Amino acid sequence: MKARKTRILADLPAHLLSRPRTWIAVGVAGMSLMGVVAATAVAPGSAPADILFERVVEALPAPVAIDTTEDSDLPFVHNERIQAGDSLQAIFNRLRIDDAEALAFLSSSDEGKKAIRQLRAGRSVTAVVSPAGQVLSFSLPLGNTSEQVVIERGDKGLALRASPSATQTAMVEMRSGTITHSLFGATDAAGLPDNVATQLATIFGTWIDFHTDLRKGDRFNVVYEAVYEDGNPVRAGRILAAEFINNGERHAVVLYRGSSGKEQYYSDDGRSLQQGFLRSPLEFSRVSSNFGRRLHPIHGSWRNHNGTDFSAPVGTPIMATSDATIDFIGSQRGFGNLIVLKHRNNITTHYAHLNGFAKGLAKGQGVSQGDVIGYVGCTGWCTGPHLHYEVRIKDVPADPMTVALPMADSFNDKELAAFKRNTAHLRQRFALLNYELASAR
C-alpha cells in the first residue's frame, strides 16, 4: 500500500491553494475552544481530513539573563489587576511598595479617597517603583469610568492629578462549557465571568429550571461583550448570543434591535423572549378585589369594579406592565394619584391610589416594561393601601387577570428576513464553537 505523505504546518498554505476549492473559510482570528475574539463559522464537512499533521519540536537556547538588581537605580514598572476585596494597602504589598508617605497621601486626599472607595475588581493599576520600594508614579482608576487618579513624586515631593484613563477596547468573546454537576460550576470551569453566567441563567430560566432540569452532558455556548484596558480584561458586558442544549433540546437566543428601536432577546427563529404584558404590576402582593360587580366599600352600593385591586404596603414599587407612553400623570377625583399608560393596539393601563410617582416622569414620556412608575398608597377614595389596576381596550374595561393581551413585538415576513440576515454572524459563532468542540473529542 502506498504510504500517505505527511506535511508540516509550513506546507499547508501552498497545498490548500493548489487543491480544488470545495469550500472557503474566511477571517478566522484568535480561535480557541474556551475563548474566541472574532471568528466566522466553518462549513460542516470542510475539515482537511486527508492531511496528516506532524509535530516538529526544536530545542531553543535559553535566553541570556541580565542581572540589573545589583547597584542599579533603574525603577520597576508594574501593572497589576485589582482583585475582589482589595484595599490600597493590599495592592501596595503585592507590588512590594514600601512607602508610608504615598499611602497616607493618597488616603487623605479627597481625590484619592474617592478612588479608593470605588476600587473595582478587574481594573488595572500602574506603578513605577524605585528599587527601594518608593512610589515614583502610581495610577489608580476611578471606578468603572475612563478617569484615573495619578500620584507622582517629583523634586517638590508628592503631587496628585486627574488624568484620562488608558483607552478601553470593546471586544467580542466566546465561551463553551459542559455541565458536569451544576451550571455555575460549568461556567467557572469555562472561565465565564460571573455577571455573564447570571445573565445566562436569567435568559434561559424561562425554558430551563436550573435546579431540576439540568443533565450531565448538557452544554452551552455564549457570545458576549468584553472590555479590555491595556490588554487586561476590565469587565464583561451583555450577552450578544447564547445557545443551551438541555437534555437533547436546543434553545438559542440573540440580542437584536427590532422595529420598536429597543434591543431585546429573540430566539434564533425570531420569537421575542419578552412578554407583551406582565400580568401583575407588583412583584409581591395579593388580590384584594377582583374585576366585576361588587358592593362599593365607601358608597355602600353595588357598582362595577373595572379593575383589580392589589393589596400591598405603602411604598411598594409599581411597575409598568408593558412598554408605553405616559398619557396622564396627576390627581383625578376618586382615583387619587393616577398614572395612565398608552400602549399599542389601543390599549391603556391605569394605576390608581398611588402614594407618589417615580422621579422624572411626565406626560408624553416613554417607559419600558418593568420600569418603576410609582408607589402603592391610599389616595382618593380608599379604605386601605392598595393599587387599583385597570386594563382598557379601546377605552372599554377588561379583566386584567384574564384578558388576552398581545405578545411582545413579532416580526412580519420582511422583518424576519432582516432579522435572520443581520444576526447570521452571531448564530454562525455557535457553529464554530460546536465544530471546535467536536474536533477536540
Which of 48-57, 129-138, 237-246 bottoms out in mean pLDDT, i.e. has the lowest?
48-57
91-100, 289-298, 401-410: which range is least confident on average?
289-298
Q: What is the pLDDT of residue 375?
A: 94
Domains 76-164 and 167-274+408-441 share a fold: yes
What's the whole-number mean pLDDT along residues 47-59?
Answer: 66
Q: What is the pLDDT of residues 251-267, one digit of tens each?
A: 888 998 877 677 888 88
Q: State phi, psi for 327 to the nearest 5 degrees.
A: -95, -30
Point out the least confidently predicted range of 5-14, 77-86, 357-366: 5-14
**Architecture of the structural domain at 286-398:** Distorted Sandwich (2.70)
**Quick one: what percent of the chain has pLDDT higher than 70?**
74
Better-predicted residue by pLDDT, 297 or 75: 75
pLDDT score at 210: 78
* Burial category of 353 from C-beta neighbours within 10 Å (exposed 0-12, middle 13-18, buried 19 and up): buried
Mean pLDDT, range 123-128, rounded to an integer:
83
In the chain, where the domains are located:
76-164, 167-274+408-441, 286-398
| pLDDT over threshold 90, residue 201 | no
Q: Select from 358, 325, 355 the least CA-distant residue to 343.
A: 325
Q: How many CA atoms lie within 13 A of 426 on its CB side?
A: 25
Put residue 19 in one of left, alpha, beta given phi > 0 → left and psi -120 to 50 → alpha.
beta
* Cα–Cα distance measured from residue 57 to residue 299, given in angstroms and rounded to the nearest whole number: 93
pLDDT band (50, 70, 90) for residue 328: very high
Residues 163-184: what's their mean pLDDT?
80
Q: Per-residue pLDDT for 418 more than 60?
A: yes
Which pTM was predicted?
0.48
| CATH architecture for residues 167-274+408-441 | Roll (3.10)
Q: Is 329 exposed, middle or buried (0-12, 13-18, 19+ CB in 10 A)?
A: buried
Q: What is the pLDDT of residue 408?
A: 61
Q: Report the chain's mean pLDDT, rounded to a whole number.
A: 77
Long-range CB pairs of 368-371 (<8 Å, 24+ gap) are 368/262, 368/320, 368/323, 369/274, 369/275, 369/277, 369/278, 369/319, 369/320, 369/321, 369/322, 369/323, 370/278, 370/319, 370/320, 371/319, 371/320
CA angle (232, 235, 241) in 5-degree steps: 115
Please give the torsion angle defined by the CA atoms of residues 93, 94, 95 and 99, in that order, rounded to the nearest 10 degrees: 0
Nearest to 434 by CA among 216, 196, 246, 245: 245
CA distance 21 to 19: 6
Compute the average pLDDT of residues 162-169. 68
Give CA–CA dist 39/41, Å, rounded: 7
Provide the CATH topology of domain 76-164: Nuclear Transport Factor 2; Chain: A, (3.10.450)
| C-alpha cell recorded at residue 266 | 429573540
What pLDDT is attached to residue 34?
39
Predicted local confidence at residue 300, as pLDDT: 55
- pLDDT band for position 47 (50/70/90)? very low
Beta bridge partners of 124: 81
Is residue 354 within 8 Å of residue 394, measured between CB atoms? no
pLDDT digits (tens, 9 = 90+) for 379-410: 988 888 889 999 999 889 888 877 877 666 66
pLDDT, residue 282, reads 83
